[in-house]
Amino acid sequence: MASLNPLATLFLSYLLLTLLLSEAKHTTSSKSTKIGQGYRLISIQDDPNGAITGLLQVKENNNIYGPDIPLLRFYVKHETENRLRVHITDAKNKRWEVPYNLLPREQPPPLKQNIKRLKKKKKPLSVSEYSSSELVFSYTSDPFSFAVKRKSNGDTLFDSNSDSFGPLVFKDQYLEISTKLSKDASLYGFGENTQPHGIKLHPNDPYTLYTTDVSAINLNTDLYGSHPVYMDLRNEGGKSYAHGVLLLNSNGMDVFYKGTSLTYKVIGGVLDFYFFAGPTPLNVVDQYTSFIGRPAPMPYWAFGFHQCRWGYHNLSVVEDVVENYKKAKIPLDVIWNDDDHMDGHKDFTLNPISYPHSKLLNFLDRIHSIGMKYIVINDPGIAVNSSYGVYQRGMANDVFIKYEGEPFLAQVWPGAVYFPDFLNPKTVSWWGDEIRRFHELVPIDGLWIDMNEASNFCSGKCTIPKGKVCPSGTGPGWICCLDCKNITKTRWDDPPYKINASGLQAPIGFKTIATSAVHYNGVLEYDAHSIYGFAQTIATHKALQGLQGKRPFILSRSTYVGSGKYAAHWTGDNKGTWEDLRYSISTMLNFGIFGVPVVGSDICGFYPAPTEELCNRWIEVGAFYPFSRDHANYYSPRQELYQWESVAESARNSLGMRYKLLPYLYTLNYEAHISGAPIARPLFFSFPNYVQCYGLSTQFLLGSGLMISPVLEPGKTEVKALFPPGTWYSLFDLTQVILSKDGNYVTLNAPLHVVNVHLYQNIILPMQQGGLVSKDARMTPFSLIVTFPAGANEGVAKGNLFLDDDELPEMKLGNGHSTYIDFHASVKEGTVKVWSEVQEGEFALDKGWVIDTINVLGLNGNGAKATMEIDGTQSNVKIDITQQSYLYGQGDGEKKTVMAGMKGLNIPVGKNFSVTWKMGS
């Protein structure tokens, strides 16, 4: 569901512009204007824990954006070999930071009330004190600045000392710090943001971080999540180096990227920087997720296809959708309800007329029996209704955010609502109990938490109007009908510096919780705003995990640093346009960098109606999103994939391949969980030395070497795709070879029902035979595709496979319910060998999984010279040799390249095996 459809978006824009013309006091300028004169270092000391602590004194006071904080403490520590922390705060008074219980991490030493001027060191900080680390911290005393360098090559990664921008500024509601950047640096990150120029950050585009219910169709605007992190990728003499920088701060901020500099302007909190040394993109995400939390393990079915719509008015419509997918032979694992199942849009309720309880339970019994799942939406706003049990228990437990001592009143879909305060331990317990109660009523398989930025249809201090029904039940449900007054009397509601909120410098309390509202322990919404959805996600995860001891599935709209540890994400309200199809790739790839690898966009667009051709092309991309779901707006025509026969054909083709790839996707989920590795990745993750792919946003990888090159424009039956150096094989036709010696653009045929997917050399890809439900697909025989460089006389390939009981909360080896296999292959002097190394094979053996087929691509020769041996014993399985054809790249006189295929092998997955044979010349 969305709060902003096209009409609402226009209405919002009109309201914002009107408000801004009358109320805006300051304008946010991206020009480099010096706000202060900076600080000077007055003392420094070593700490017993290996850190250093210093005191900074302001050089000259001014009152632009408020008075300067006179004395700061900075604290620097190498927390690991590859992670450096630089923490700067008020030396005397505790300031807001992201709560340590929500994002667990080391705490700096407590502030000292009686500060003594410490004797300044005679010699400056030297490299030798940090010799065990890849990152080197240095500083300049007056005006204070600091730099972080890479020890191995001397590169400066961050440097706040420059004449081209202002020095450090630290006021209560305005923090500013800048860094120089290498002119060769490619930057990625700073979300959530729909980036029209692609994944690579674009100089002078606005990057504002503040969680906001503004639909994803709005470009260069702060959207649902806040991720103040970026990755910097540089190429020096053909070798790449990547590092990451996180500013752990939940307050609203503008980031000004000029190409050769980056300036943060933050409206509160502290400067808490973490530097991640890399040096590869995968290393950066590994180090980052090691700190913020590894991505959540997802159940196997989460990687199936999902169908949703806002507007399934009754249960019979949902039953028809499931039946029509089955008739059309299109895979479907999960059916969703937006708020249509609710009684009056109220959380944890059922509409007794359109979703009668007994009939819903019968339906769920039927779909559960075949392995399908059911998920419903849940919004944080709790209806103010004295006859509503959820509200009654919430009031009794005092769980709501307060304004002037009373619960803060807002409006969302049910009408007047209060917002739970998820920073309050009592709220977390109450929320878990409400989820438990609803699960006893309806055995849902996961929760979709929406509108949790938090979204509010009204602004300011509101009361329930007397003498009229609100909402009236007619007209758009998102129009504010409460009696409201603007709140501008506090510096929290009207801060001195205006971030570029909603792309229009909207007041930061506009259409959300008033920023002077108060959470548990006196925490201001002003500080905690952007972690609201994150806190709700953690509470929801705890509740679901406690239900039946199963692995939770949560989809959250609002995210923050660390959300990927608990939830998947979809990119919110997009349009059914070719532009939005293209943007979806960049946003998906960004979330992999943010540590939220299970991500996707509404396939075919949320609104308005997509064209038939666009929906064809969108499912050909969306079938390869880590999270693959078709979702549409209440006001849009139906767009399930079977609504057009041509789209159904494209869906059978692309989703058919997805379901064969489920073991690969699930293994990527395991890799994400243990190392943070994104499931969908930009090409530069695998080819960091190949600069031509640094800005590529129209293709992507699943894992290290499965490349999707979709059609993203109308009327096209070809696609021009970039192939990094090496050999690539078409996954839909294994006989087709592209040999890209130095990296090339290749024009590929792409008629309406075709999506181009290519597998890179030196890989072993595990697949199964597919099916209409992942539960069935999961029990089909395995096949392995082995790829060598085309025509190579020598080569190696490897792959892996993780299998487990996906209902268990933990995803790991050693619990007796999982198996891990490393696959290897080699070719040398005509001898081909494929073998496995199995860890804890009992689980796979109990399931009876077998490898039926192995196809080895890129071999040099004409046929098999000798019979095949399996585990040293001669086999009567025939080796079929098929000539492979070059679509691109074969030179004159090059040897033939062939594929060797074996079928009917019946090799147990859970045992080590070895298959060998010799090729003829």
Catalytic residues: 450, 453, 573
- Spatial separation of the C-alpha atoms in residues 422 and 543, rounded to whole Å: 13
- Count how many Cα atoms sit within 13 Å of the Cα of residue 523 in the half-sphere of its side chain: 23
Contact criterion met (CB below 8 Å) for 534 and 438 = no
Contact criterion met (CB below 8 Å) for 456 and 512 = yes
Closest CA to 864 of 786, 823, 919, 822: 919
How far lies 281's CA from each of 240, 359, 676, 677, 694, in Å? 9, 50, 11, 9, 11
- Spatial separation of the C-alpha atoms in residues 307 and 640, rounded to whole Å: 7
* Angle (nearest 5°) at CA 620 between 618 and 623: 100
Residue type, position 729, single letter: Y
Which residues neighbour 238 within 8 Å (Cβ) at sequence distance 6 or greater? 689
Closest CA to 379 of 338, 433, 350: 338
The number of beta carbons lying within 10 Å of the beta carbon of residue 377 is: 24
Residues composing the chain: 921
Nearest 5°: phi and psi at 327?
A: -65, -40
Quick one: the chain helix, strand, coil %, rounded to 5? Answer: 20, 30, 45
Q: What is the three-state SS of 787-831?
A: ECCCCCCEEEEEEEEEEECCCCCCCCCCCCCEEEEEEEEEEECCE
Which residues neighbour 204 within 8 Å (Cβ) at sequence distance 6 or greater? 30, 257, 258, 259
Which residues neighbour 409 within 8 Å (Cβ) at sequence distance 6 or greater? 384, 403, 416, 417, 418, 461, 462, 463, 464, 482
- Spatial separation of the C-alpha atoms in residues 640 and 324, rounded to whole Å: 9
Residue type, position 919, single letter: M
3-class DSSP state of 773: coil
Contact criterion met (CB below 8 Å) for 710 and 671 = no
Give the long-range contacts of residues 388-391, CB within 8 A, separation 24 or more. 388/346, 388/349, 390/346, 390/347, 390/348, 390/349, 390/434, 391/418
How far lies 323's CA from each of 316, 319, 326, 361, in Å? 10, 6, 5, 17
The pairing of strands 447-449 and 373-378 is: parallel
- Spatial separation of the C-alpha atoms in residues 584 and 216, rounded to whole Å: 10
Which residues neighbour 746 within 8 Å (Cβ) at sequence distance 6 or greater? 720, 721, 723, 738, 740, 887, 888
DSSP secondary structure of 434-477: HHHHHHHHS--S-EEE-STTT--SS-SEEEPPSSS-SS-SSS-T
How far lies 317's CA from each of 314, 321, 359, 810, in Å? 6, 6, 13, 36
Contact criterion met (CB below 8 Å) for 554 and 542 = no
- Spatial separation of the C-alpha atoms in residues 284 and 594, rounded to whole Å: 11
- Spatial separation of the C-alpha atoms in residues 502 and 4, rounded to whole Å: 13
3-class DSSP state of 615: helix
DSSP secondary structure of 520-579: GGG-BHHHHGGGHHHHHHHHHHHHHHHHHSPPP-EEESS-BTTGGGT-EEE--S-BSSHH
Strand partners of residue 417? 383, 410
Residue type, position 760, single letter: Y
Closest CA to 207 of 215, 261, 219: 219
